Amino acid sequence: MSLDNSSRISDDLPQQVVAALRAVCGESSVALHAPRFKGNEWKYLRDSLDSTFVSSVGAYVDRFEADLAKYTGAKHAVAVVNGTAALHVALLLAGVQPGDEVLVPALTFVATANAVRYCDATPHFVDSNEATLGIDPDSLRDWLGRMTEQREGFCINRETGKIIRVLLPMHTFGHPCAMDALQAVASDFGLIVVEDAAESLGSWYGERHTGTIGRIGTLSFNGNKIITTGGGGAILTNDTALARRAKHLTTTAKLQHRWEYEHDEVGFNYRMPNLNAALGCAQLELMPEFLASKRRLYQRYREVFSGIAGLRLVGEPAHTQSNFWLQALLLDQVGAGQRDSILTATNDVGYMTRPAWRLLHQMMPYRNCPRASLAVAESLVQRLINIPSSADIA
């Protein structure tokens, strides 16, 4: 009898999800995550245009960096063209060398691994934790204990002979990783922590903002993030010397001079334009409202999904405060086989839903990279569904 009941629930699950989304989102088509402009965006953009400073020099770039530093509690913020550029430079600042390995979650957006490749280094994929969706510190410790050795102060992969230089946790969908435990693993194995906080502006691990816990952190302000600058990203650090070098590297490594063009190393044209920063200043002013709206949306979704067997709504991990950037459903074993049916049913009626990313070790550029057992990530990716999450839904 229980098997028949489970089968019935599973078969009905796509329409139950559609009905729940309709109760929250209404009848019209709804995007997965759309930007919201209702503050000083036009005013600041017009001011930037009137000033004629629209490129990588201008008052709004300086203001946006200062506002970000104040909001996150970081000592320094360096604004750049996008989150991937921020990650690339952050890894260079952390000392990643050609041939090194960087510990990366298999469950993340491809930019996390791409930035490692930009450094001529190799992503080394590790497993996730179901409670946080980020890197699992216990399985990581076990893996490193079995697969690495300490040699001259470096963590060495016994199989490849390469230095594992950096641990690169990503705060999935805005939910903070278990950073204290990950920091402890990094300390014990001689690793530098660089946080990919692209999705987690407005998220807190205890009293610390994500992106400020490791040595360096990065943010993204793409059009689908909790605030947007159109494109854009930022590097966060409490190290003044690193911040100075970040600004130098992202500004083509040009030495300051009234007229001479002198560059003392290979740099990158990664600085954020003033126009984008102007938009960011206005958006950041709206963060309290955005966060409140997203938390209301989470609570509304929790109400409508609580009575549906076969899934649960992903909540914030213990001792954290999530920005709830992307709301997510996690199917259990009853509903596990219905992921694609749910995606089809919801998109057919205009509710944009998406699976999590394809695991990175399954993608062509990364199939031959070193990896730990990825049992949890391989389970999660088959069961996660992102649902409409824009701040203006609730």
**DSSP symbols for 214-266:** SSEEEEE--TTSSS--SS-EEEEES-HHHHHHHHHHTBTTBPP-SS---BSS-
Pairing of the two strands 384-386 and 328-331 = antiparallel
Question: Which two three-digit tokens encode residue 8?
Answer: 């019935």
Contact 393, 30 (CB under 8 A): yes
Question: Which two three-digit tokens encode residue 133?
Answer: 């969706």
Contact 358, 381 (CB under 8 A): yes
Residues of the chain with pLDDT under 70: 1-10
* Amino acid 7: pLDDT: 46
Question: Which two three-digit tokens encode residue 76?
Answer: 């320094």
DSSP 358: P
Contact 60, 44 (CB under 8 A): yes
* Amino acid 10: pLDDT: 61
* Amino acid 23: pLDDT: 97
pTM over 0.85: yes
Any bridge partners for residue 78, and if so which?
Answer: 235
Provide the CB-side half-sphere exposure for 107 (13 A, CA). Answer: 27
Question: Which two three-digit tokens encode residue 302?
Answer: 């929790």
Contact 262, 255 (CB under 8 A): yes
* Amino acid 141: pLDDT: 98
Domains of the chain plus CATH, in order, are: 2-37+287-386 (3.90.1150.10), 41-285 (3.40.640.10)
* Amino acid 330: pLDDT: 98
Question: Which two three-digit tokens encode residue 53?
Answer: 């400073």
